[in-house]
Chain A
Amino acid sequence: MPRRLALVALAAILLQPLTFTQGASVVQPGTSPLIVFRILFTAGSASDPAGQEGLASLTAAMLAEGGSRSRTYQQIVEAMYPMATSVNWQVDKEMTVFTGTTHVENLDRFYALMKDMLLDPGFRQDDFTRVRDDAVNFLKVSLRESNDEELGKEYLYNVIYAGHPYGHHNRGTIPSVQKLTIDDVRGFYRDHFTQANLVVGLAGGYPKGFDAKVESDFAQLPAGSADRKTFAAPAAAAASTLAIVTRDTRSTAISMGFPIDVTRSSPDWPALAVVASYLGQHRSSNSHLYQRLREARGLNYGDYAYVEYFPRGMFQFAPDPNLARQQQIFQIWIRPVEVNTGVFTLRAALYEYDTLVRDGLSREAFEATRQFLTKYSNILTQTQSARLGYALDSRYYRIGDYNTYLRDALAKLSLDEVNRAIRQHLAPNRMRIVVVTKDPKPFQDAVARNTPSPIRYNSPKPKDIMDEDAVIQAYRIDVKPADVTVVPVEKVFQ
């Protein structure tokens, strides 16, 4: 019989942990019986060789969803089954992270499995065939044919970073993944899963000396050289562009954005974080776009803005950590709208964006948003896993403890600095727009002839909305007809 679990310890004191950076480790020792691992490598899909896009992701998937040399994947699944745990992977442009959480009672057994998976992978052909199929089906079916908004957001990144090391989806392209071999995976593992790229993240009530043991075990990896290279800003757009992805779908999804030269390392990041939160705090009604597009007009389910990459946003309320990048974009995400309001909604979003760039934030909006973000960082970092993840990202960005950094920066921030940052970083006229729809013509007409897109509501609207609509319905979409492309969905991720 399984022994009874002494879960009472879960109610032990769980104060905010201290973070220690020791060599290539970030550790947060505490008293929780839940032990969190984040084994991070500062190498990701930006290191995919040309023609082998998706290799970093496939390598990570082979480690986490394939066998080790001593155990088949089935044996690993079976061993982890009674512990209710697993090793999960995430690959972004510059980071690959393996996460796992175990109850301290199972720590030794779990760690032995995880260690073997990451340090002594089996690289079997049958595992490879399966995870490669998964990657192809993810791109071809799950993303391209089942989720228009995530498709639009990811395609936007492809457009912005065309010709750049960030220019392909982290999972690759369909033809590049289909060509990958198990030897390619072996080579990528050997060259990039190195001590030079490694940061061990560990949190919870692990026994004394356990962190040193993990560090010593992972020192078996080849020394290697660090991937950390400098990624230049993508080529600047001369003017705004519109890419229309066509597929047989019920509604119309809209995303837009442009590169910014601001990351969490930059002095202006807190200012832009305030701007994005004000304009479109993720999944919150407390933001301007949401209020104007959804609350006032009922155009869709939500409208948000970002200054950092936030994949899987339709499934999550909070971003995953360990997506740190040297290059970020400013992004607006308009959730799907009815086909006949697509052009109006795009115009409304551009109108609101241009108004923000022209007028900046009001004193009241600035103070309220600053107060929100100061407290909200505590919500983002509530779990051990999130705190550890943020600590690893803070190490990358060299900003110290995230909550302290943000709280102090926000306390010092002024409205003038925010509005200066808007003028400096959010220039108009270089918006890359992506629309996923079955009907490109109204968008093409609106661009070519500025064809108005009047809207009819199912209820009376206040005068200020009607007045604004009169402007929005013919608001110029500042894209030259030559800069409109129509892309059948089967060409995306090819």
Chain B
Amino acid sequence: MKARHWVVVAAVALAGVGAWMSRQAAGESRGGNVFPYAYSVDDLPNGLRLVTVPTDYPNMVALYVVVRAGSRDEVEAGKSGYAHLFEHLMFRGSENFTPQQRDDIMKRAGADTNATTNQDRTTYYAVFSKEDLDEVMKVEADRFQRLKYAEPAFKTESLAVLGEYNKNSAEPTEKLDEALYETAFRRHTYAHTTMGYLQDIQDMPNQYAYSLEFYKRFYTPEYATVLLVGDVTRERAVDVTKKYFGGWARGSYKPDIPAEPPQTEPRTAHVDWPSPTLPWVAVAFKGPAYSDTAWDKAALDLLSPMAFGPNSDLYKRLVLEEQKVDDLGANFGNHPDPELFTVYARVKNVKDLDEVRDRILGTFAQFTRQPVEQSKLDATRSRMRYSFALRMNSSPAIAAALAPYILLTRTPDTINKVFALYQQVTPEDMRAMAGKYFTDNNRTIVTLTPKAGTQ
């Protein structure tokens, strides 16, 4: 009999409408919590959330602002890549700070500042000395509330985005992914990459008005979470967040993201790569969305390294013994909507491509039939916990580890919940979930080979 002990989190009810709503979250360090830091969660009346994680790493503070706007939110045709474009535009000046003034402030602070975008979120960060907290918060808050860029600057920045596309364009896996996602998804916006289609990027300079609309939609407090990690107290964090972000007006936009209908047939696609490369195969199944309460994703998260990681039988055979493949790995991220569980393999000789594909498929099928060994499951649980612990080696590393979870649930607590789920999943759960998701009709396979004669 399996013991499914939930890590019960003391969620203190939110109190006081219209006032600062606070709860000392459940993060008080308790043995066994994979996220061991005490933290606090404070909600502003405008919908902005602040998560503060004081650490003992001295002097430095990491500020992460996670905005729930990613390529998933790009619902209009011809408008792929705008969440990412916005990551760029946010450095183009605000009402009270020109880009030059912002740069000067960050330079004086010796700050490391940048931003990233993926399907679901745009994450802005700055890492700096604690004495610069006030000034950094002031300049950051201005751009979230009062971004201001003229059309010429917008057009110029859209070319920097094209430059980013260009610098990635020599890498075959970028094209492989583009083909994979547009084949697997037909209605949902996961069909296009975060970078977006080249023709949409090339059209960006003509879309100034749309860009203003995009900002209005997503750059509002209910879409954002401020994360302060490092040499900072909750009191100080609340104080500066309230001071600089307190006047941010709540928005009203609700994206209508089309649901992907159930796939009813296996799908394939192929990419002809114009220059020499090694062939690739990607085998993908639509998997479950992130959840810290349902078993589906947790079971497949555990399955991923067991079936396709460096310790898996398939890896041992294809990479180490037969040496037909020089790169093998699975990708199965945490997303708010169902996304892909994908296995990628780079094959050393094109004659082995079909066989490698079939053996990946055979491995998926095997896990739908046979439960994994308990000892291997235990080793995998251990690996996942240590892996998470080893990542958290500085304040920005802790913030970076938290940011994806903040997007999903707006609280670090979900990490302990999902790791508690991992502890409870059984071999039979994993087999059942493999059987549920790894079906022929739920599958997309994409191959990439160099054009004839160039390998």
Interface positions of A (Cβ within 8 A of B):
1-2, 4-8, 10-16, 32-34, 73-74, 77-78, 81-85, 101-103, 106, 126, 129-130, 133-134, 137, 141, 145-149, 247-251, 253, 283-286, 291, 294-302, 314, 317, 335-338, 368-369, 371-376, 378-379, 382-385, 457-461
* Pair A82/B112 contact, Cβ less than 8 Å: no
The reply to whether B378 and A2 contact each other, CB–CB distance below 8 Å, is: yes
Q: Given known contacts A283-B114, A296-B156, what 6 new A-B pairs fall within 8 Å (CB)?
A: A295-B156, A301-B163, A372-B108, A375-B111, A382-B396, A457-B156
User: Contacts of A7 on B, CB cut-off 8 Å?
Assistant: 33-34, 36, 385, 389
In the complex the two chains form, is B110's CB within 8 Å of A371's CB?
A: yes
Contacting pair B171 A338 (CB below 8 A): no
Q: In the complex, what distance in Å separates the CA atom of A285 from the CA atom of B172? A: 28
Contact between B320 and A74, CB atoms less than 8 A apart: yes
Report the minimal beta-carbon distance from B34 to chain A, rounded to whole angstroms: 7
Complex Cα spacing A1 to B397, Å: 29
In the complex, are the beta carbons of B60 and A137 less than 8 A apart?
no
Assuming the contacts A11-B56, A101-B390, A248-B274, asked whether A286 and B107 have C-beta atoms less than 8 A apart, the reply is yes
Contact of B166 among A147, A336, A379 (CB under 8 A): A336
Residues of B within 8 Å of A295, CB to CB, are 99, 156, 160
| Residues of chain B within 8 A of A382, CB atoms compared | 57, 60, 127, 394-396
Known A-B contacts A12-B56, A83-B382; A459 and B393 likewise in contact (beta carbons under 8 Å): no
The answer to whether A376 touches B112 (Cβ under 8 A) is: yes
B362 on interface, CB distance cutoff 8 Å: no
Known contacts A285-B103, A372-B110; A149 and B167 CB within 8 A of each other? yes
Nearest CB in chain B to that of A339: its residue: B166
| Residues of chain A lying within 8 A (CB to CB) of residue B379 | 2, 81-82
Task: Decide yes or no: A2 and B36 within 8 Å by CB, A103-B386, A103-B389, A460-B152 being known contacts.
Answer: no
Q: Is the CB–CB distance between A145 and B163 below 8 Å?
A: no
Using known A-B contacts A34-B390, A85-B390, A383-B394, determine if residue A14 contacts B57 with beta carbons closer than 8 Å: yes
10 A–B contacts from the bound complex (CB under 8 Å): A7-B389, A8-B33, A15-B56, A81-B383, A82-B386, A137-B348, A141-B276, A251-B166, A301-B164, A379-B112
Contact (Cβ within 8 A) A300 B163: yes
Q: Which of B159, B274, B394 has most chain A Cβ within 10 Å?
A: B159
Contact of A74 among B162, B316, B383 (CB under 8 A): B316
User: With contacts A286-B106, A369-B107, A378-B110 known, is A336 near B163, CB below 8 A?
Assistant: yes
Q: Are B152 and A77 in contact (CB under 8 A)?
A: no
- A contact residues around B167 at 8 Å (CB): 148-149, 251, 253, 300-301, 314, 335-336
Residue-wise interface mask of B (353-370) relative to A, using a CB-CB cutoff of 8 A (1 in contact, 0 not): 000000000000000000
- Asked whether, in the complex, the Cβ of A338 is within 8 Å of the Cβ of B56, the reply is no
* Interface flag for B262 (CB, 8 Å): no
List B residues at the A interface (Cβ < 8 Å). Answer: 29-34, 36-38, 55-60, 91, 99, 103-104, 106-114, 127-129, 151-160, 162-164, 166-167, 169-172, 205, 274-278, 309-311, 316, 319-321, 323, 326, 348, 378-387, 389-390, 392-397
Question: A5–B156 contact, CB under 8 A?
Answer: no
Given A10-B389, A459-B151, decide whether A368 and B108 contact each other with a Cβ distance below 8 A. yes
Task: Determine the residue in chain B with the shortest Cβ distance to A9.
Answer: B36
Distance A283 CA – B113 CA, assembled complex (angstroms): 9
Nearest-Cβ distance from residue B424 to partner chain A, whole angstroms? 12
Q: How far is the CA of A299 from the CA of B159 in the complex (A)?
A: 7
Q: When the two chains form the complex, which single residue of B129, B157, B323 contacts A130, counting CB atoms closer than 8 Å?
A: B323
Q: Is the CB of B163 within 8 A of A81?
A: no
Q: Are A298 and B160 within 8 A (Cβ)?
A: yes
Minimum CB distance partner of B151 in chain A: A459
Shortest 7 CB-CB distances between A and B: which pairs?
A: A375-B110, A298-B159, A459-B152, A84-B387, A251-B166, A301-B163, A300-B163
Nearest A residue to B321 by beta-carbon distance? A126
Please indicate the chain B residues that have their CB under 8 angstroms from the CB of A249 in the complex. Answer: 169-170, 275
* Min C-beta distance of B108 to chain A, whole Å: 5
Q: Contact check: which of A247, A337, A371, A384 meets B107 at CB < 8 Å?
A: A371
Query: Are A1 and B378 in contact, CB atoms less than 8 angstroms apart?
Result: yes
A137 near B164: Cβ-Cβ < 8 Å:
no
Given the complex, which residues of A lie within 8 Å of B31, measured CB to CB? 4, 6, 8
Chain A contacts of B107 at CB under 8 A? 286, 368-369, 371-372
Q: With A7-B34, A137-B326, A297-B156 in contact, do A385 and B60 touch (Cβ < 8 Å)?
A: no
- Please report the C-alpha to C-alpha distance between residue A103 and residue B326 in the assembled complex, in whole angstroms: 29
Say whether, besides A249-B275, A382-B396, A384-B393, A375 and B129 are in contact (CB < 8 Å): yes
Give the shortest distance, in Å, between A393 (CB) and chain B (any CB): 19
In the assembled complex, the Cα of A253 lies from the Cα of B31 at a distance in Å of 51
CB distance from B256 to the nearest CB of A (A): 32
What residues of chain A lie closer than 8 Å to B29, measured between beta carbons? Answer: 8, 11
> Residue among B29, B110, B309 with the most chain A CB within 10 A?
B110
From known contacts A145-B276, A249-B275, A382-B395, infer whether A5 and B385 are also in contact, taking CB-CB under 8 Å: yes
A379 to B382, alpha carbons, bound, how many Å?
Answer: 31
- Check if B112 sits within 8 Å of A317, measured CB to CB: yes
Give min CB distance, A398 to chain B, whole Å.
26
Cβ contacts under 8 Å, B128 to chain A: 375
* Least distance between B97 CB and chain A CB atoms (Å): 13
Q: Do residues A373 and B110 form an inter-chain contact, with CB atoms below 8 A?
A: yes
Q: What is the minimal beta-carbon distance from A254 to any residue of chain B, in angstroms?
A: 12
Q: Are B275 and A4 in contact (CB under 8 A)?
A: no
Measured CB to CB, the nearest residue on chain A to B104 is: A368
A320 to B38, CA, bound (A): 31
* Residues of chain B lying within 8 A (CB to CB) of residue A145: 170, 275-277
Q: What distance in Å separates the Cβ of A262 from its nearest Cβ neighbour in chain B? A: 23
Give CA–CA (A385, B151) in the complex, Å: 45
Using CB atoms, name the residue of chain B closest to A462. B152
Given contacts A297-B156, A459-B205, contact A379 B110 (CB under 8 A): yes
When distances are taken between beta carbons in the complex, the residues of chain A under 8 Å from B58 are 14-16
Among B91, B160, B277, find the residue whose CB has the most chain A CB atoms closer than 10 A. B160
Known interface pairs A1-B378, A5-B389; A73-B157 also in contact (CB < 8 Å):
no
Indicate if the CB atoms of A147 and B110 lie closer than 8 Å: no
